[in-house]
Structure 1
Amino acid sequence: MGSRAFFPSLAEARAWLDGHVNLEATAGDADGLSLAPMRGLLAALGDPQADYPAVHISGTNGKGSVAVMTAALAQAWGMTAGVYASPHVERINERMAVGGDPVSDAELTELLGHMRLVEGHLAAAQDSGPPSWFELVTAAALRWFADVAVDLAVVEVGKLGRYDATNLVNSRVSVITNIGRDHTDGRLGWEAVVMGEKAGILHSGATAVLGPMGAELVAIAAEESPRELLVSGRHFELEENRPAVGGRLITVRTPLASYEDVYVSLFGPHQGHNAALAITAFESLVGKDLDEPVLGALGDVAFPARFEVVDRQPLVVVDGAHNPDGLAATGAALAEQFTVLGAVTWVVGMMRDKDPEAMLAAIDDSGARCDRVVCCAPGWPRALPAADLADAARNRGIDAEVAGDVAEAVERALALSTENDAVVVTGSLYTAGEARLHLAPRGQ
C-alpha cells in the first residue's frame, strides 16, 4: 500500500468516512441493493478477498460470538485469523482484528486514505455514486487482511446476506446461526423471507452450517445448492449445555467426533449453541477432528458487551442484546447462572425500529426478574426516545424512570442498588458501548 499517509490523523479520516451514506445510522432499507459497486471497489483494490479463505456468518443473533469462537479455534490450530464484525462497541477499530488485536489507528488511517484514493479513481472512470460507509469499511478490512497475509478471514454479515457488502468473500464455510424477528414487519411468512435473504451467502463451493431451524427454512437453504449442508439436530448436535463457573460446559457431536465437557468462557445457554456452530464450522473447514488444545481456546474467549460482567457488588452486566430473542437470552443467562438476592434493575436503551413492548415481554418470558427499568436513549440518530420506552414499561406494570443519557441511567441504577442487587445494561450495542466507556474510569 505504500507508506504515504493520505490523512494526517484518524479523526480526519473518520470525518471523510462519515460523509458517506451510513445505513447503520439510518433506517437502512435493503431494497434496491446491489453488489456491483462493492465488486468494482474490490476490483480496484486488486480483489484482496481472493487471497484467503473465509468463514462467512449470518443470522439474527449470535453472529459475533460464533465469529470470535471460530477465530479462537483457528488461532489455536496455528492459523493467523482475521475477524471482521459489526457494529463496533466503542471504537471503529474493533470492526477488524487479526490475532485478536484490532487494527491500529495508524493502519486504519492509511487504509482509509487508500479508500479515498480508489474512490476518486472510480468516480473519474465511471458514472456512479460514491460507495457507502459500510462498503468502504468492509473493503478496507478485506484489503488489510490481504496485506497482513491472514490464513483465514472470519467475516460477519452486516445485514441479511445476499446483497451485503461482505458477500464477495471467498467463503469455504457459511454459517446461518438462527432466524429471529428483527428488521422485519412480522407479516405472515416473514421467516421464509428473512431466510431467503440470509441464505444468499450460501454458495456451491462452500459448506453450509445451520443452527436450529425448521424444515421449511432448511429447504430454502438447500435451494442455494451448497457443497454440503450440515443442520443442527440432524448432522451435529449440542448434547449437553450446562452452567459452569465463568461460562458453560458443553458436549457436541459433529460429523467427525464427539467432544465432551468443552469449557466455553461465555455466559448463557445461547453461547453453548454458538459454540456448537463454531466447532462444526471450523471442523468442516479443516476436514479433521479437533484435539483438546484447540478446543481449549474456547475457554479463553472474551467478548465485550456480550453478557459481560463488569462488577460483582452489585452485579453489573453489560449486554448488547438488540431484539426480543437477544433479550430473552440475556434474561435466561441471568436467571440460570446468577443468584441475585436483592433487586434487579435494567438499564435499557434501544433503536426506534424495535417494539419496546416485545423487548420488555422477552425479559419477562426469560424467567429473569425485572424490578425496575431506567430508560435511556443512546447517542445515535435512530434511538427510541427514553420516554416512549418508559411508557411501554409502565403499561406492563414495571416501575420505570427516564434518564437523560446512558451515563446518567447507569449512575441512577447504581445509586438505587445495594451490593446484593444487580444492574443489567442492554437494549442495543450502542447503549452497551456508551455504558462501557462510562464505567471504565471507575476501574470496573
Structure 2
Amino acid sequence: MTGRPDAAAQEAARSLELRKRMREVEEEILARAPENDVGPSLERIAAVMELAGDPQRAYPVIHVTGTNGKTSTSRMIDAILGEAGLATGRFTSPHLHDVRERITLAGKPIPREKFLAAYADVAPLIDIVDARSLESGGRRMNFFEVLVAVAYAAFADAPVDVAVVEVGLGGTWDATNVADGQVAVVTPVDLDHTHLLGDDVEAIAREKSGIVKADAAVVAGEQPEEVVAVLRERAEEVGASLAVQGRDYGVLSREVALGGQVVSVRGLAGEYRDLLLPLHGAHQAANLATAVAATEAFLGGGSQALDGDVLAAACAAMTSPGRLEVVRRSPTVLVDAAHNPHGARSLVAALAEAFTFTRLVGLVGIVADKDAATILEVLEPALDHVVVTRSSSPRALAPERLGELATEVFGEGRVTVVPNLPDALEQAVTLAEEEGLGGGVVATGSVITAGEVRMLLGRTDT
C-alpha cells in the first residue's frame, strides 16, 4: 500500500525544486554582461522600475558609496537599525559565495523563494526594456542592473521599513541611483576603477557625489580635503546637509581587545562609550562611527541620540565576512578582501595592531584591472613570503604575470607562484609552518580570492 509522502519528504522535494530553479535563474542572469561592463546611463534600469511601479520609492533608502568600507559600513547600519526594531533590507556587492548574499532581509540572505518571486515579477519587464534597447541600437541590461531590479522589487514586497543600499560602482551612473537616498553615506574615497571613474580623487568624488539628492543628509567618512570640497559643493547645489568624520563626528578612543576592539565614538547627537566591536582595525572603528552618524541622521535627523543599549547590542553582534576574518586556527588563516592600495594599507595596519606572527605568508590573487604592483608594495613590509595565485574569476591576473610583479617587489627568494588556488593555499600553510608554531597566512587581493579561500576551509556563513 502506498501512502501520501510525509511532510518532511514534501518539504525536501520542494527545497530541491527551489534550488534547481535558483540555479537556472542564476545562469540566466550570469549570461548577461558582467557588472563591471557599465555605461553612463540609468535609462534601462529606470525604465524597468517605472514599469514595475517604482518599487524603490516604497521605502526610505540609506545610500552608501565610497572606495573602501562600503560593505562593512552598510552591514553596521543594517545591524543598528535591525536592533532598533526596524524591518531592514540591504543590498551589497559583490558576494562571497551565494548571489543571495547581495539582497538581505532582516540581515539574512533573501530566501530562495522570495528571490525567485521578485525575479518573476521583474523578468518580463526586463525583457520589454531589453527589446526596446536592442531595437534602438542599445544593449541588454547587465548582471548588476538585473540584481538591482530584483532587490528593489523584493524590498517593496517584503515590505521593509528601510533599505540600506550600497552602490556597485561610482554613484551618478550606478544602477542603484534610481533610488533617492534620505541619507547619503560616503566612505573614504581613494583611487580605484580609475579607467571608469577618473584619474584623481577629486574626479572620483564627483562621480560618487551623484548619489546626493535634494534635502538629503550626507555623512562622509575620513576624506582628503579635495573630496570634502566636492561633497560640500554638491550638498550646497541640492540643498543637502553635510557631516564629515573628524569634524562633526568621529572615533573618540579605541583599544585592542580579544577578538576585536573596544571603541568609543561621538555621533551627530550623542557619545557612546566602550562599545565592543568584534572586528579588527582602525578602519573598522571609523566605519562604525560613520554607521552611527548615518543611523542618527536617519532616525532622528541627526539631533536625537541612539539608545545606548540598542547600539551596544548591535555592535557586539556585528560581522563582516571576508574582512580581516579568521577562518582557521593552527596555523591561523585570515582572509581579507583588500583589492586596492587603500584597502591594503588598512589591512597592513590592522595586522600589525591585532596579530603577532612569527612568520606571515601572503596568499595573493588580484584582478587584472587593479593596481597590483602598488598593492604588493604596500603588503611587502608585512609579509615574510608571498604565494601568488589566481581565483576562478575570468578577470584574474595571470599568476605568472603577478609572480613577475611580486618578484620585483619582494625579491626572487620570497615569491612562490602556484597557479591553482587550492594548491596555493596548501603551499602557503606549509610555508607558514616552516619555523614551527606562530606562523600565519593572510589571503587577500580580491573579494573573490577571499571568498574562495573561505569556502576551501569550510566557511560559507555570511
Above 0.5 in TM-score? yes
- 1:279-294 aligned within 5 A: 279-287=292-300, 288-294=304-310
Q: Does 1:98 align with 2:105?
A: yes
Secondary structure of residue in 2 paired with 1:354: coil
Q: Give me the whole-angstrom Cα distance separating, in 2, the residues matched to 1:330 and 1:161.
A: 25
Identify the residue that residue 60 of structure 1 maps to in structure 2: 67
Bigger Cα displacement from structure 2, 408-417 vs 153-162: 408-417
Match among 77, 81, 93 for residue 70 of structure 1: 77
Q: Does 1:318 align with 2:328?
A: no
CA contact (8 A) 2:122 2:153 kept: no
Secondary structure of residue in 2 paired with 1:209: strand
Identify the residue that residue 383 of structure 2 maps to in structure 1: 370
Match among 108, 121, 131 for residue 114 of structure 1: 121
Q: In structure 2, what residue type is equivalent to 1:102? A: P
Secondary structure of residue in 1 paired with 2:164: strand
Match among 258, 271, 278 for residue 258 of structure 1: 271
Q: Give me the whole-angstrom Cα distance separating, in 1, the residues matched to 2:52 and 2:445.
A: 37
Secondary structure of residue in 2 paired with 1:243: strand
- 1:9-28 aligned within 5 A: 9-24=21-36, 28=37
Identify the residue that residue 411 of structure 1 maps to in structure 2: 426
Q: Give me the whole-angstrom Cα distance separating, in 2, the residues matched to 1:172 and 1:72.
A: 18
Q: CA deviation at 1:216?
A: 2.5
Identify the residue that residue 11 of structure 2 maps to in structure 1: none
Identify the residue that residue 245 of structure 1 maps to in structure 2: 258
CA contact (8 A) 1:6 1:110 kept: no
Q: Does 1:168 align with 2:178?
A: yes
Bigger Cα displacement from structure 2, 262-271 vs 192-201: 262-271
CA contact (8 A) 1:76 1:293 kept: no
Q: Give me the whole-angstrom Cα distance separating, in 2, the residues matched to 1:290 and 1:201.
A: 25
CA contact (8 A) 2:19 2:112 kept: no
Match among 167, 175, 191 for residue 201 of structure 2: 191
Unaligned runs of 5+ residues in structure 2 are 1-16
Identify the residue that residue 153 of structure 1 maps to in structure 2: 163
Q: In structure 2, what residue type is equivalent to 1:282? A: T
Q: CA deviation at 1:111?
A: 2.7
Q: Does 1:144 align with 2:160?
A: no
- 1:394-433 aligned within 5 A: 394-398=407-411, 399-418=414-433, 419-433=437-451
Secondary structure of residue in 2 paired with 1:440: coil
Identify the residue that residue 235 of structure 1 maps to in structure 2: 248
- 1:213-232 aligned within 5 A: 213-225=223-235, 226-232=239-245
CA contact (8 A) 1:375 1:400 kept: yes
Q: Give me the whole-angstrom Cα distance separating, in 1, the residues matched to 2:41 and 2:196.
A: 24
Secondary structure of residue in 2 paired with 1:322: coil
Of Structure 1 and Structure 2, the greater helix share is in 2
Bigger Cα displacement from structure 2, 152-161 vs 390-399: 390-399
Q: In structure 2, what residue type is equivalent to 1:199? A: S
Match among 366, 372, 380 for residue 393 of structure 2: 380
**For each residue in 1:341-365, what CA deviation from the matched residue of structure 2 results, as whole angstroms up to 9, or x when unmatched?**
x21110000011122220011124x
**Distance change (3 Å), C-alpha of 1:254 and 1:146:** same
CA contact (8 A) 2:327 2:459 kept: no
CA contact (8 A) 1:13 1:113 kept: no
Q: Give me the whole-angstrom Cα distance separating, in 2, the residues matched to 1:383 and 1:304.
A: 21
**Distance change (3 Å), C-alpha of 1:72 and 1:401:** same
CA contact (8 A) 2:94 2:102 kept: yes
CA contact (8 A) 1:73 1:282 kept: yes
Q: Give me the whole-angstrom Cα distance separating, in 2, the residues matched to 1:56 and 1:62.
A: 13
Q: Does 1:392 align with 2:405?
A: yes
Unaligned runs of 5+ residues in structure 1 are none
Q: CA deviation at 1:441?
A: 7.6
> Once the two structures are aligned, what percentage of the paired residues are identical?
34
Secondary structure of residue in 2 paired with 1:294: helix
CA contact (8 A) 1:209 1:229 kept: yes
CA contact (8 A) 2:250 2:290 kept: no
CA contact (8 A) 2:67 2:190 kept: yes
Q: In structure 2, what residue type is equivalent to 1:265? A: P
Bigger Cα displacement from structure 2, 122-131 vs 423-432: 122-131
Q: CA deviation at 1:299?
A: 1.4
CA contact (8 A) 1:93 1:108 kept: yes
**For each residue in 1:304-336, what CA deviation from the matched residue of structure 2 results, as whole angstroms up to 9, or x when unmatched?**
101111122211101111111111111111110
**Distance change (3 Å), C-alpha of 1:351 and 1:233:** same
**Distance change (3 Å), C-alpha of 1:6 and 1:333:** closer
Q: Give me the whole-angstrom Cα distance separating, in 1, the residues matched to 2:322 and 2:428.
A: 18
**Distance change (3 Å), C-alpha of 1:375 and 1:39:** same
Q: Give me the whole-angstrom Cα distance separating, in 2, the residues matched to 1:176 and 1:441.
A: 30
Q: In structure 2, what residue type is equivalent to 1:401? A: T
Q: In structure 2, what residue type is equivalent to 1:23? A: E
**For each residue in 1:212-257, what CA deviation from the matched residue of structure 2 results, as whole angstroms up to 9, or x when unmatched?**
1233322211222342110111111212133221112222122311
**Distance change (3 Å), C-alpha of 1:339 and 1:8:** closer
**For each residue in 1:62-116, what CA deviation from the matched residue of structure 2 results, as whole angstroms up to 9, or x when unmatched?**
0000000000000111101111000001111110011121012233233333332
- 1:326-341 aligned within 5 A: 326-340=343-357
Q: CA deviation at 1:185?
A: 5.6
**Distance change (3 Å), C-alpha of 1:353 and 1:236:** same
Identify the residue that residue 217 of structure 2 maps to in structure 1: 207
**For each residue in 1:3-47, what CA deviation from the matched residue of structure 2 results, as whole angstroms up to 9, or x when unmatched?**
xx99961111112112211133xxx3x5x4111211111111111
Q: In structure 2, what residue type is equivalent to 1:360? A: L
Q: In structure 1, what residue type is equivalent to 2:376? A: L
Q: Give me the whole-angstrom Cα distance separating, in 2, the residues matched to 1:55 and 1:94.
A: 18
Secondary structure of residue in 1 paired with 2:163: strand
